[in-house]
Structure 1
Amino acid sequence: MAGAVLLGLLLTAAALAAPAHAAGVPQPDGYRMSDYRSPTPDGVAGGETADTPAVQALLAQGRTVPVFVQRLERSTLPGGPWLQSKAYRQIPGSVWLPNVGMGAPDPATLAWFESQLERLTGGDRNRDLLFYCLSDCWLSWNAAKRAVLFGYARVHWYPTGIDGWMEAGLPTEEAHPPSPPPAVSPAP
C-alpha cells in the first residue's frame, strides 16, 4: 500500500513538474499580446520545437544563431538606452534582442529585428535560428513566428529557454543587448 501511495505521489509530482507547453495550448492566429509568462503551445507553425538535447545538437553543428529575446525596459528619453536593473544569463554565443517578441512591437523595433536577423545570418534565409527566453514565455514563441513570417526557413523554438538550459546544468554567460533600435517619435 505504501508503495502505491508513493508511486501516486511521484506521478503527481512529475505531472506538476512537466512543462506547461505540453498542456495542449492552441496556437493563436496572430501573436500573443499579453500575459507573456503563461503556458505556451506545443510548437510554432513553420518552425521546429527543440528540447535541451536538440538545442545542444544544433549548437554543436556551429551553424545555429541562438537569439535570446527576454524583455527589457528602455529609457523614455529620445534615443534612450536599455534600462537593465539586473544581470541576465544566456546560452553562450547568443545574441540578446530585447522586446522583439512583444505582441505588437513598434515599427522601429520590427525593422531593427529584421535588420539584426539579416546581419546575424549574413542574409542566408536558410541559416538556423534558435529563439528562446524563459520557460512558459510567449516572447520567444512570438519572435520565432515573426522570423518564419520574415521568410526564415530553419526556425527553432526552445520553449523551456534559459530556465531549461540552466536546470540541465549547462554553461551560461552574462547577457548584453546590442544598442537599441532608434526611438519612435511620438505622434503629434
Structure 2
Amino acid sequence: MNIVIINTSCGNFYSLKYTIKKIGFYSKITNDPDIILNADKIFLPGVGSIKSAMNKLKKDNLLNLLKFCKKDILGICLGMQLLGKYSQENKGVYTLGIFDVKVNLINNKLLPIPHMGWNTVNYNKNHLLFKNIKQNSYFYFAHSYAMNINNYTIAYCNYVQLFSAVIQKNNFFGVQFHPERSGINGIQLIKNFLEM
C-alpha cells in the first residue's frame, strides 16, 4: 500500500510516520504531486498557523490536487481545518473548501484556550473509522479553533460547548484530535483508516 504524509511544513510528521510503522505499514513524507497522486491513502497533518499551511500547499501546487483527489484523505488537527471553507484565524483565511463549513475560535470563558489534553469523543453512528473504539474514548487535543457540529459531523467532543471531533464527506475525513498522540485509541483509528 502506498501511504503518503503530505509535508505542510507544520505537522507532527515523524510521530505520525512512526505510528503508521508500528501498525505495520511504510509511509512517505512528501509534497511531490506525482507521488501523492499515486498514493492509496493520504494523511494531511498540521499544527500551528493555517495561513502558513495554505501558503505551503499553494507554493507546492497542491490545492487543486487535494480538492479533486479521489483517494482517501485524513486531515489531522489543522489538517482537518484546512478541509473547511474558511477559518477565523489570522483575521480570516480561505481554505480548501471541501467541506462547506467555517472554522471558528473556540468561544468559552470557563476553560482555558487552547484546548489541550485528553478529552472524550462520541460518535453519532457506527462507522468503519470507529471499529474497535468504544464510545466515550479519550483522544489527545491541542487546538484553539474548531468546526461547529454540522452535516458532516460523525463524532463530537464537549469542551463547554460541542464541536466536531471527526468529519467525513465521501473520501475526505478529518479528525480534530491527534491520533498519533492518542495511545491505543489513536493507533486503532489510524489502522481503521488504512484498512477501510
Assess same fold via TM > 0.5: no
TM range (shorter): under 0.3
Which protein shows a greater Rg? Answer: 1
| Structure (1/2) with the larger helix percentage | 1
